[in-house]
Structure 1
């Protein structure tokens, strides 16, 4: 039996969840969206998984979504000799000239512009910040000399972060462009872009999607760079959702600043009425243990109470020992806290008179009215999914049930807080449609006799225009 929680769970695909049985058990336990991590993806394998998930959707009436997550310009060092240790105070040279086998004295850096982008005094963080170096000098061509500030073992192909440096790389590398074109070809529901710095990064991906697809695939901006925080208002205007990517964010920024940044990003997303996902290390110990730590339970609960639409698992489901149990545990935590009166929704009513002003206002009033009259459900007919985004953002206490003839958005909306979507293709008169939908909702057990229900529709129905009608029904 599928759960009735409203906060969604995003789970990363990987070797630990590669069979049909495990994937089905995970959906039943509460997974709403499966993430394909293109840092470690084999196209044939991804194709197989996507077909498997869509097959389950078809067979069991699920609406599980697929999210393609692009790697972005992850900087790395080259291959190292075994057991290289660097000590505080040592000097080390990073070179881009030739792909040498790294030693404690000299290491290959895979990013060609590195010597040109960095300046003396800036820091190099390696292996998620386990090793720290400070740049002493750069020849601006191919070599950078740095002093070890925090030493340790220097391992092969480890990731590099440059928190003080403005790097000249675009958010999409050649690999990302190839991965994005593949993901678009697979009709994924969402694409996440890593290391977003400016709106231009998002526009580049939008243009790529437009070039390769007749449909608009919504984009999630992953916030993991200080530069993104400076440009957050502009970024929010160009993306369809935000992800608080706490892994790299916690390396690029001092870790103790991340909790407030998380809260601020969730608030920004909620004010903009776009969904927001909180990601990284949520249930990390459950990779190898059946019991999460109290701190992890608190972390998931607090993300839900901050107002996240979705919480995300990475290694826990991709390579962990307990992919199904971690979902069950997460669902338990979500259900325990998500109805708390302590959760606040930013109450900024629609102000700007855009062409969607009427729809926005109707959605806002539907959510407010549903709480006042204690309506059990808000039902909306939609072709673009726009009303689902709007109603979900107001966090009503009622069910949000979306009826659409557009199969593309049926799964896409599964990322949104509280939204359940159903395929519906009749375009009869408004009265008949409302009666019909109310009957379906009653049969599905969301409402019973005497309950109030709010219907939103675009009149006339046949034109599939913007929602302009709100109607309250009492179930007979």
Structure 2
């Protein structure tokens, strides 16, 4: 049996993943989470895919997680009347108001407050930064005059980035609110919010979740703006996970700064004990080719070695020719590097004496003890999933087996590094439950006779309270 990988793979759904057969093959090769990109999503299609994924999980015991990714405020230019190529030094005016077809002199911009928010000297980036303009003047109402700094073809409907501008648009557009309500109705496992700038963006999304769901749906903050990097401590306090969205981030900040920001964000997430996903262009050439470049292999490996919980594929699985093979390649890379002694985990024990201090401390010591005594697994009983987040963040060498009677968190936990969750609802006495859980771990092949195993539980077990007990078992 091949070694189990602990780093999770997030794969984006799309036209290339339209059948149950392909989805099943992808899960078999290593997909843990499927992402719905609401920038390109049809509700009926999404319902159908979710149904397929859930049926596969039920039939084969997968617990595959579903992540709904909200588009956020996407700024775009309008349709061009003709092919336009702009040269450095050319002057071009961006106009709001009524939509019109663009020319070499004037282009429509879908962001109505643009003339009010932008200031002279600020940069406008178009088409993932391929074109660059500098603002000369704005009338504050409808027109912004700019000068071309970096030229090229100016194409229809291309995305706009404003790295220096304080945008007055909310992170949750009307489309996002409708998409969020739909996703909550589909009982997705995670919600990701694009272009997060500050904690208020996350508070607004949390209010929508509270209004439309009885269950907690954890939120992932997508970090793709310099403001978000600057506000990271406040953002981390209000989200349940981070995504390093390197595509837009690499346009909004100079591309050469992204590698260190990636490392900084991974460390920040680990410190907060929340999962972090690395995304964008990981295996881009595999959209059309059966083999990745050496640089892409290195990129995936380095993200794993930085300590990412998950690595994400976008176009590679949504529209690529080889959605199954790209997962197979990624799994091979992960397995090859993730046990390396070169990977270090920050080892400062929990110090803030919150009401969860005991649980945090037990999880911290369980992870260290597991490494010391070479325990093959840490088994924890949980109702909220909290201990799974804590243990996963300490990156023990052992498997993390989570037993819960809460169906809602079974698939949610599939995003967390090293975590494997099982449904379990026989909470009798501590001794009986621990023996039962150990028996399941042995049956499932995680431990064998004479292996050490660490059990975490809340006593009395029937109260389903906070974890307060650590026990070491020897498998009979």
Global fold match (TM > 0.5): yes
Pairwise CA distance, 1:81 = 1.8
Q: In the aligned structure 2, how far is the partner of 1:358 from the partner of 1:366? A: 12
Equivalent residue, structure 2, for 1:396: 396
Aligned positions of 1:250-289 closer than 5 A? 250-289=250-289
TM-aligned CA distance change 1:2 to 1:317, over 3 Å = farther
1:26–1:327 contact (8 Å) kept in structure 2: yes
Does 2:358 correspond to 1:370? Answer: no
Equivalent residue, structure 2, for 1:98: 98
Aligned positions of 1:301-380 closer than 5 A? 301-380=301-380
Equivalent residue, structure 2, for 1:9: 9
Q: In the aligned structure 1, how far is the partner of 2:351 from the partner of 2:35? A: 35
1:286–1:292 contact (8 Å) kept in structure 2: yes
3-state secondary structure, aligned to 1:129: coil
Does 2:425 correspond to 1:425? Answer: yes
1:376–1:399 contact (8 Å) kept in structure 2: yes
Q: In the aligned structure 2, how far is the partner of 1:168 from the partner of 1:4? A: 46
3-state secondary structure, aligned to 2:264: helix
Q: In the aligned structure 2, how far is the partner of 1:149 from the partner of 1:2? A: 53
TM-aligned CA distance change 1:127 to 1:2, over 3 Å = farther
Q: In the aligned structure 1, how far is the partner of 2:350 from the partner of 2:128? A: 41
Pairwise CA distance, 1:97 = 2.2
Post-superposition Cα deviations, 1:254-293, rounded to whole Å, max 9, x if no partner, equal 0000000000000110111110000000000000000100
Equivalent residue, structure 2, for 1:136: 136
TM-aligned CA distance change 1:144 to 1:2, over 3 Å = farther
Q: In the aligned structure 2, how far is the partner of 1:124 from the partner of 1:218? A: 34
Aligned positions of 1:211-250 closer than 5 A? 211-250=211-250
Post-superposition Cα deviations, 1:309-364, rounded to whole Å, max 9, x if no partner, equal 00000000000000000000000000000000000111121000000000000000
Pairwise CA distance, 1:427 = 1.3
Segments ≥4 residues shifted beyond 4 Å: none
Post-superposition Cα deviations, 1:57-107, rounded to whole Å, max 9, x if no partner, equal 000000100000000001001111231111111110110022010111101
Q: In the aligned structure 1, how far is the partner of 2:368 from the partner of 2:89? A: 61
Equivalent residue, structure 2, for 1:45: 45
1:316–1:326 contact (8 Å) kept in structure 2: yes
Pairwise CA distance, 1:297 = 0.3
Q: In the aligned structure 1, how far is the partner of 2:306 from the partner of 2:471? A: 31
Q: In the aligned structure 2, how far is the partner of 1:128 from the partner of 1:84? A: 17
Does 2:118 correspond to 1:115? Answer: no
Aligned residues: 476
Aligned positions of 1:156-167 closer than 5 A? 156-167=156-167
1:123–1:132 contact (8 Å) kept in structure 2: yes
Q: In the aligned structure 2, how far is the partner of 1:2 from the partner of 1:29? A: 11
Aligned positions of 1:196-207 closer than 5 A? 196-207=196-207
Pairwise CA distance, 1:372 = 0.3
3-state secondary structure, aligned to 2:371: helix
116-125 or 82-91, which deviates more: 82-91
Post-superposition Cα deviations, 1:32-65, rounded to whole Å, max 9, x if no partner, equal 0000000000000000000000000000000100
Aligned positions of 1:407-422 closer than 5 A? 407-422=407-422
Pairwise CA distance, 1:2 = 8.8
Q: In the aligned structure 1, how far is the partner of 2:104 from the partner of 2:111? A: 19
Gaps of 5+ in 2: none
Q: In the aligned structure 2, how far is the partner of 1:80 from the partner of 1:272? A: 46
Equivalent residue, structure 1, for 2:454: 454
Gaps of 5+ in 1: none
Aligned positions of 1:12-23 closer than 5 A? 12-23=12-23
Equivalent residue, structure 1, for 2:471: 471
3-state secondary structure, aligned to 1:76: coil
Q: In the aligned structure 2, how far is the partner of 1:127 from the partner of 1:322? A: 26
- The alignment's C-alpha RMSD in Å is 0.8
